[in-house]
Amino acid sequence: MKGFADKLAAKSPAFQRTYLGILAPSLVKSGNFDKYYQTLTDFDFMLAKINHPEFGVRSLIDDYKFIDNSQIFDNPERVKILKLIEGALELSAHLLNKNQVELLSQLWGRLLSFELPGIKAFLTITKQTQFQPWLRPLIPSLDPPGRTLLRTLTGHSSSVDAITITSNGKFLISGSNDKSLKVWNLETGREDFSLRGHTDKINTIAVTPNGKLLISGSSDKTIKVWNLDTKTEVFIFKGHTDQITSVTITPSNKRVLSASEDKTIKVWNLKTRRAIKTLTGHSKKVNHLALMSYDRLIISGSDDKTLKVWDLETGSELIH
């Protein structure tokens, strides 16, 4: 008897694309949950979906999410099995995006520890339908789903030195030693886009509270302002004589504060694009900044072993 892969291969490319795209949602919509479960535990279907150039692993994961939106699934064990498979795919997505042949090894390494009969049956069937050589884990060797790790984001070519999250919680932004900034969609785990322009590593980043602008500070001694909607560099703040170590933004979206290894703190006006003040008093590099009170007080920490509290309006040091 022909399996899913053989039947699909006999169809036209246009049919294959349409069928793979609508199969899971149409089964849920029609209430055919037995067939939905069989499809999402069919290794041939999984392989076909992640290997199709217009779908991939993220589209396959989305097929499992239909179970979250339906109140009709009345088989708790099947729901648990599908959620475990979905979780295993989430944890493996960063690898499967690059190398789909790892699918079977990843599923075995992440699901082997579960004693559910349905999981055991699923793994046995996947092993029988895999005809290419593969690395079979003999013990649970990878992080299983259901624990604290949800997904891994990969894409930078060097160390990640700064991260922040937009105020709406939808996007993660990272700065790296590879001189790039990356904007990630936290819901899908995918990279939305990259920003390049710095000539040295990026040490610190911040996003305006309204989520419109991204501020990055680099070892190239500059602070860049980026528009997240247009995905472009807007302008550059220059004035520090050594690498930037920390940036922060006032809640009013009006001022950027920066700290540097040149021992100073600068206050910049986002509208005029000019430095308003330079705060001096630390005897060694300033490592970090934190706002205290709305647009008024700032705390700085330095290699000189001190914390200083500054009044932003007067530029004077209040406590050290």
pLDDT of res. 69: 65
For residue 72, the model assigns a pLDDT of 59
Of 167, 204, 174, nearest in space to 288 by CA: 204
* Domains of the chain, residue spans: 4-129, 160-319
pLDDT of residue 2: 55
Distance CA 10, CA 52 (A): 15
The rounded distance, in Å, linking the Cα atoms of 194 and 183 is: 6
78-135 tens-digit pLDDT: 999 999 999 999 999 988 988 888 999 999 999 999 999 999 999 998 887 766 777 8
Instruction: Give the pLDDT mean for 24-50.
Output: 92
Task: Kindly report, residue by residue over 180-237, the tens digit of the pLDDT.
Answer: 999 999 888 889 999 999 999 999 999 998 899 999 999 999 999 999 999 999 999 9
What is the C-alpha to C-alpha distance for residues 215 and 198, in angstroms, rounded to an integer? 12
Structure pTM? 0.76
pLDDT given at position 268: 96
- Mapped onto helix, strand or coil, the DSSP state of residue 310 is strand
**What is the pLDDT, as a whole number, of residue 1?**
42
**Superfamily of domain 160-319 in the CATH hierarchy:** YVTN repeat-like/Quinoprotein amine dehydrogenase (2.130.10.10)
pLDDT above 80 (res 14): yes
Contact 171, 190 (CB under 8 A): no
Are 227 and 260 in contact by the 8 Å Cβ rule? The answer is no
First to last CA, the chain: 80
Give the pLDDT confidence of 250-292 residue by residue, as tens digits.
988 889 999 999 999 999 999 999 999 999 999 999 999 998 8
